[in-house]
Structure formats: structure tokens, C-alpha cells
Structure 1
Amino acid sequence: MTLQRILKITALIVLIVLRWSQHEWIDSWAPNQHFVAIAIQFLLFAFAANVAVMVLSWLYRRRKGLKGRQADNVVIGLENIYYILLTIAAILTLFSLMGIAPQELLTSLSIAAAAIAIISKDFITDVISGIIISFSREISIDDYVKIGEHKGKVIDLTINKVALLNEDDDVIYIPNNKFYANEVVNYTKREIRKVNIEFEVNINSFTTIEELENDLIHTLADFKEHIAPNTFHLKIVDLRKDSLDLKFQYVVDRRDREIEREIRKKTVRQVLNYVKNNLAKTG
């Protein structure tokens, strides 16, 4: 057990003792006893909820065999629920310190609350979607996915955003409601890990599709231990008057972002070299 966990549990025990013996010592704080009592209740709730999440996460990690602070969707979901409850408790505590009872608050601010809900409906949708995503099996940390036009590795699932690390090492934050509004392709969870490299070439810049395909296959011979045999395929996506849209496909044994980036870089460069050489010959 780490020092941080020991301190949290110790603080919780101290707060429980203070709350239980409050009537014996709070008289010395007579002018501020209302504020002291409310502050103790808030801290007691915050630490109790935090310790509960900590224990549940520890039990879950132990059952799933997760190491250290390794997290998956369930652990992240528990943390997100804790942050939501803590925010609600902080708001109620603030109004209690102002002398406004929660019942009166809900009654007197019903219209204002409705207006706030309408204004912040996108944020609320993101939060609800974040909780659903956290406990779903559609997407997990370290999955390689495509959300709309964005493709990359999932590095974080926050309460209102999904964080992707793309091939250029840029971190892209996608609102959770956009996750449901767009088509999602999870390359990690599908059984066949097919990789697509799309490019456009001039019709006059190559001899035959078969020759270009064989040239690309030969170029990637150094990566044969990462690519399933006999899975290469150069596909015509669209035929135009002067050019072709092509898609070079292959199946990898496992998703490895660095290897895929190297394969993609070598493929694109070989296409450029092939086109350049053929144009030189025809010229």
C-alpha cells in the first residue's frame, strides 16, 4: 500500500472521529459551528468516496490482473463517477454555507436550472456519453481506432473527451457526443487487422497495376515478420480520366503503431520512386 493511500485512509478515519465527536468539541467553535459542521461533512464525503473508488479499483485490478496504476474502462468509469459526485457535493456544500437548504435551492431555482441545463446540454451530453463509453466494450485505452476523419491510438478517456494520438504524434481531443455521432472503426478489436494505404497516381506514371503491386510487396520484404503472408492487395478505388485512386492493403499480425508508420512511410516513398522512374523512362 502506497503512502498516498495510507494518508487518505488516515484522513478518513480522523474525519469520522471528528464527525462522531463533533458535539463534544464544537462548542469551542460556537461562532462558526455551522460552517465547521458543513466542511466536515463535505470532506468526509469526499474522502469516503475517494477511498471507496480506490478500493473498488484495487479489487478490480487484482481480479483482472492489471499491474500498478494500469487502468481500463471500468477504472476510468469509476473515477469519472467520483468526479461527478464530488462536483455535485461541492455545489450543495457551497449553497449550504450560504445558508440555502438544498430543498429550497431546487424549488427556487427550478426555472434557472432548466435554463442552465439547456445552455449546457452539450456538456451534459458529453458527460453522460463519457460514463457510457467508460463502461462499454466498444473502445478501450490503447485501442487503435478511427472516429470520423480522425485515426489514432486511444490514450485517455476523460469525463467529456476521448484523446487520440495520431500518426503525427498529435493529441486530438474528440467530444464524447461526437463519438456517437460519427462512425467508429476499432481496428484493434476486429479479428482481421487490415491496414489500408490510399494514394493517387497518374495513369501515365506506371505500366501495370500488377507491376506496381509486386514492386510494393518486394519493398516491404523487411517487414515480413509483421505482415501475414499472402495478404497484399492493390485495389482500384476510383478511375478518373487521367488518374487512379489506389488502396494498398495488407494484414498485420498485431497492431503496432511504430511498425505501421514505418511501413506506411516506406510504401509511400516507394510509390513516389516508382512513379518518378517510370516518368523518366517514358520521357
Structure 2
Amino acid sequence: MTEEKKNTNNWQFLAKLLLWILLYTSFWYFEDFYKSHKFLDNASNALNLFLTASIVYSIGRYIIITLYKKRHEHHSVRGNFVLGINRLMAVLNTSTAVIAIMLALGIDPREFVTSLTIVAMAIAVTFREYITNMLSGLFIMFNDQLSVGDRVKIGEYQGRIVDITFSSLLIQDEEDDIVLVPNNLVFTSPMVNFSAHRSSLFYVRFELPLQAAVELDQLEDRIQKTLLNHPYLSGDDDLHLKVVEIGKDYVKYKMEMHATSSSNKLHRQLENEILREVLQFKREYDHPKSEPDV
């Protein structure tokens, strides 16, 4: 969680706490007023329920996350425990808000739930897929098999996980498209987590004008010399440029390699080294050194 998000959560908690104190104080000073206005009485009680529950959830979330981080402060944790807690808090707050709205409208939540019992089976069948996806999403969030940022292959889909929701994994594929993969697919299809190992697959993409593309061998040779015996690259890789697309006046390339870490910072560093060589190659191609006069 970034510092900005932490500050936002702190301000939200303080705002809820202040509103709860003001509301609770009003019950003492305006008791007769609330009794004479039934709707306002119901609305204030509903708001009090929501604020009280939300404050308790926030305090519980803070304690649980603090204890979790304290317990794992000396270990490398790849899991999504904090993400799972945040998603769970969102569900609890939403459920409490629905109950509060019912109370504000004078609806008894217990009677409402009882009346739904008759159609509960129909609802379960209708939303069976979503329910199982949600349970699968919770299981993914609270274990360390997958984490945001991991590079994975699930069935026919391959790319980097950018988010985990209750319904699906958001995977950014090699073409930078966002693919929504249902959570159930994680447990029903073959899965490979490249980031679970020391070497981590990543790609470097760039394009060159069609005129410069004819010197592919020279560019490939320069890049290979730059990356030869690189301390942050796996020595088993054959570093070759692959042509991805040929346009009217450009050629797109892709280079596949394995780093010794799944760190995004390291991948960007390696990518920058390669792109600098590409820019230097293009500059020399566009402005070749003139041969000295004899």
C-alpha cells in the first residue's frame, strides 16, 4: 500500500469516527426530536449501525494487518493477504450498508432474509458460477501461490497479473491487452507461475523504421555483446530478436529473456540497457560517420 493510500484511509477513518461521535451525541440532546420523527429516527439508527460496524472493521483490519506484517517482517512474503483483507472489508461494509438501508426504510432484515429462503436455491443456481469464482478468488488472495505482479500461464493465457478480484484475475498479456481470466480457471487448468522461480521471464519490445530493419544482424550482435555474461540474466538464454510485425514503414521486434529476479525494477533496468543500444544503433544508422578524404 502506498503512502498516499495510507493517508487516505487514515482520513476516512477519522471522518467516520468524528461523524459517529457527533451522531451519538445528538442522541442525547435530541432524543425527543428523533422520537417525534419516525423516518429520521430510523435513518439515524441505520447510520449509527453502519458507522459503528465500519469503525470496528477498520480497527480489526489494522490490527490483523499489523500482526501479519510483524510476524513476517523477517521473511519474504509473496502472498496477497493484505489484498484479501481489503476485499473482505469491502464485502462486509457493503453488506452492512445494505442492512442499514433496510433499517432506514423500516424493513426488518431478518424478515427479509426469511422471505428469501424460498428462492435461495434458485438464486444459488443462478449465481453459482459467480459464487464459485468469488470463493476461488478468496482462496487465491489468502495463499501465496499467486501474487499481483507474477508472470503466469493459465491454460492458453499468459502474462503478468495486474489485479485480483472476486470474479477474475486481470492479466496483461504480451500485447499489453488486459485479459480477464475467471478465478476458477486457476484450479481447473494447468498453471505455470514463472515468478515462483529464481529466473523470471520478461520481454523487451521496440520498433525501427523499415530502412534500418535491414541491418538486423548488426543490431542483434550489439545487443548480445551488451548482455553477454550480464550478472542479472540467466546464462541459459539464447538472446535473439524476433520479428513480431512488419508494417508499411516499420518493423516491430520482441526479445525474450529470463532475469535472475522477478523484480520489476530489475526488468526495467535491463530493458533500458537494451533500448539505449537500439537508440544508439538508430542514431548511427541515421547519421553515419563520413569516410575521411584520401
Note whether the superposition's TM-score is higher than 0.5. Answer: yes
Inter-partner Cα distance in structure 2 for 1:143 and 1:20 = 49
2:135 corresponds in structure 1 to: 128
Which range is displaced more, 253-262 or 23-32? 253-262
- Identify the match of residue 50 of structure 1 among 45, 54, 58: 58
SS at match of 2:161: strand
Q: Which residue of 1 aligns with 2:166?
A: 159
The aligned residue for residue 37 of structure 1 is: 45
Deviation larger for 147-156 or 73-82? 147-156
Aligned partner of residue 30 in structure 2, secondary structure: helix
Distance 2:128 2:222 in 1: 54
**Shift in Å, 1:219:** 7.1
- Cα deviation, residue 164, structure 1: 1.5
CA spacing shift, 1:149–1:261, aligned 2, 3 Å:
farther
CA distance in 1, matches of 2:84, 2:33: 42
Asked if structure 2 preserves the Cα contact closer than 8 Å seen for 1:8 and 1:51, the reply is no
Question: Runs (4+) of structure 1 moved beyond 6 Å?
Answer: 216-219, 260-263
Distance 1:261 1:163 in 2: 26
The answer (yes or no) to whether the contact 1:26–1:33 under 8 Å persists in 2 is no
- 2:190 matched residue in structure 1: 183
Task: After superposing the two structures, state which structure 1 stretch, 161-170 or 20-29, moved more.
Answer: 20-29
Q: Provide closer, same or farther for how the CA distance between residues 191 and 111 of structure 1 changes in structure 2, counting only shifts above 3 A.
A: same
Residue 222 in structure 1 maps to residue 226 in structure 2 = yes
TM-superposition CA deviations, 1:23-72 (whole Å, max 9, x none): 54232133121222112212322243234324543554566569xxxx96
Structure 1 residues 61 and 168: CA distance shift in structure 2, 3 A = farther
By how many angstroms is 1:159 displaced? 2.5
Which residue of the other structure, out of 115, 122, 126, is the alignment partner of 1:119? 126
1:28 to 33, 36, 39: 33
Residues 192-242 of structure 1: CA distance to partner in whole angstroms, max 9, x if unpaired? 55789xxxxxxxxxxxxxxxxxxx99973432314333x2579xxxxxxxx
Aligned partner letter, 2:45: A
**Alpha-carbon distance change, 146 to 261 in structure 1, aligned in 2, over 3 angstroms:** farther
Inter-partner Cα distance in structure 1 for 2:223 and 2:9:
53
Q: Can you list the C-alpha shifts for 1:142-165, whole angstroms capped at 9, x where unaligned?
A: 111111111111121122221122
Q: Using the TM superposition, give the Cα deviation of residue 92 of structure 1 relative to its aligned residue in structure 2, in angstroms.
A: 2.0
One-letter identity of the residue aligned with 1:42:
F
TM-score (norm 1): 0.65
| Closer/same/farther in 2, CA of residues 112 and 19 from structure 1, 3 Å limit | farther
- Structure 1 equivalent of residue 23 of structure 2: 18
SS for the counterpart of 2:160 is strand
Q: What number of residue pairs does the alignment pair up?
A: 227
Instruction: Please report how far the alpha carbon of residue 9 of structure 1 lies from its aligned counterpart in structure 2 after TM superposition.
Output: 2.7
The alpha-carbon distance between structure 1 residues 104 and 187, as it changes in their structure 2 partners (threshold 3 A), is same
Secondary structure, in 3 states, of the residue corresponding to 1:109? helix
The offset of 1:132, in angstroms, is 0.8
Tell me the amino acid that sits aligned with residue 56 of structure 2: A
RMSD over aligned Cα atoms: 3.7
Q: Residue deviations 1:151-201, cap 9 Å, x none?
A: 1111211222211222222222212122222221111112455789xxxxx
Q: Identity over the aligned pairs, expressed in percent?
A: 25
Unpaired runs of at least 5, structure 2: 1-5, 204-219, 240-255, 275-294
Q: Which moved more, 1:35-44 or 1:15-24?
A: 15-24
Whole-angstrom CA distance in 1 between matches of 2:111 and 2:168: 34
8 Å contact from structure 2 (residues 154, 189) kept in 1: yes
- Once residues 44 and 24 of structure 1 are traced to their aligned partners in structure 2, the CA distance between those partners, rounded to angstroms, is 19
Is the aligned partner of 1:8 residue 2:13? yes
Q: Secondary structure at the match of 1:38?
A: helix
